[in-house]
Structure 1
Amino acid sequence: MTRRQILLIDDETDIQTVAKIGITLSTDWEVITANSGEAGLDVAIATPPDAILLDVAMPGMDGLATLAALKQNPATTDIPIIFLTAKAQAADRRRLYEAGAKGVILKPFDPTTLASQMAGFLAWPF
């Protein structure tokens, strides 16, 4: 089996660090990071990952705009997206699923269960 690659797009370096540690401690997945929607889009086009963990609230191109751009590009349209968000309201989560998310993980998240949550949303063995 090939090693899975996750693209983590979040403007907060602390979130990137904690998520990356949580994912790599319990899996052999490779985690690459981008600190903006624009940078994440560039990375995803250049080297399409197996999945994207995407922050909703970012300056410039936010998570929803990033998702829309990913869906418009034939090279990235089928990459599953899981959102990270601090907005816990059902209406907020529903809007993300309606936009095409495979899953929504609330911040603050538990880094020790992050990979298993992702695997569950993606129907990957864990």
Structure 2
Amino acid sequence: MSKQRILIVDDSELVLAMARDALEEAGYEVICAQNGLEANSYIFSMNKPDLIILDVMLPMLDGNKKAKLLREKESSCKIPILLLSSKSEDDLRRLTAESGADGYIGKPFTSEGIVASVKKFLTKPS
């Protein structure tokens, strides 16, 4: 059985490295992108990610707008999306609801926290 693939989109190399290390240690295949355009090459490929973690504050197109666009496309509308941000929990809940994302992860996050969030949304029945 192949590993589940997680795409992390964040413009911070430190955040990408921390998230990648935690998720790879938990047994996931991790792909990183630093903006929404770069993420498209993975999202719309033959080997789509099983889950996308999107930073809310991305250059060019922010994460909640990107999530809305992904929800509108048939090829990406079923991929679970988690927003990632240091915004308040109330703001994150609102952005999650507005964008159609499945959930959120607050920054700063712990290795255990990000792995638990990913597991929760990858084990949900579709």
Q: How far 1:70 moved relative to its partner?
A: 1.4
Aligned partner of 2:17 in structure 1 is 17
Q: Equivalences for 1:81-100 in 2 at 5 Å?
A: 81-100=81-100
SS of residue matched to 1:61: coil
Q: Tell whether the 8 Å contact from 1:41 to 1:70 is kept in structure 2 after alignment.
A: no
TM-score (norm 1): 0.88
Runs of 4+ with deviation above 6 angstroms: none
Aligned partner of 2:121 in structure 1 is 121
Alignment gaps of 5+ in structure 1: none
Aligned partner of 2:40 in structure 1 is 41
Q: Distance in 2 between matches of 1:122 and 1:87?
A: 24
Quick one: which amino acid aligns to residue 48 of structure 2?
P
Q: Distance in 1 between matches of 2:121 and 2:71?
A: 18
Number of residue equivalences: 123
Quick one: which amino acid aligns to residue 64 of structure 2?
L
Q: How far 1:111 moved relative to its partner?
A: 1.8
Root-mean-square deviation (CA, aligned residues, Å) is 1.6
For the structure 1 residues 105 and 92, does the alpha-carbon distance in structure 2 shift closer, same or farther, using more than 3 Å as the test?
closer
TM-score (norm 2): 0.88
Aligned partner of 1:7 in structure 2 is 7
Alignment gaps of 5+ in structure 2: none
Q: Tell whether the 8 Å contact from 1:48 to 1:75 is kept in structure 2 after alignment.
A: no
SS of residue matched to 1:75: coil
Quick one: which amino acid aligns to residue 31 of structure 2?
I
Q: Tell whether the 8 Å contact from 2:3 to 2:29 is kept in structure 1 after alignment.
A: yes
Q: How far 1:18 moved relative to its partner?
A: 0.4
Q: Distance in 2 between matches of 1:75 and 1:50?
A: 12
Q: Equivalences for 1:45-124 in 2 at 5 Å?
A: 45-46=44-45, 47-123=47-123
For the structure 1 residues 15 and 91, does the alpha-carbon distance in structure 2 shift closer, same or farther, using more than 3 Å as the test?
closer
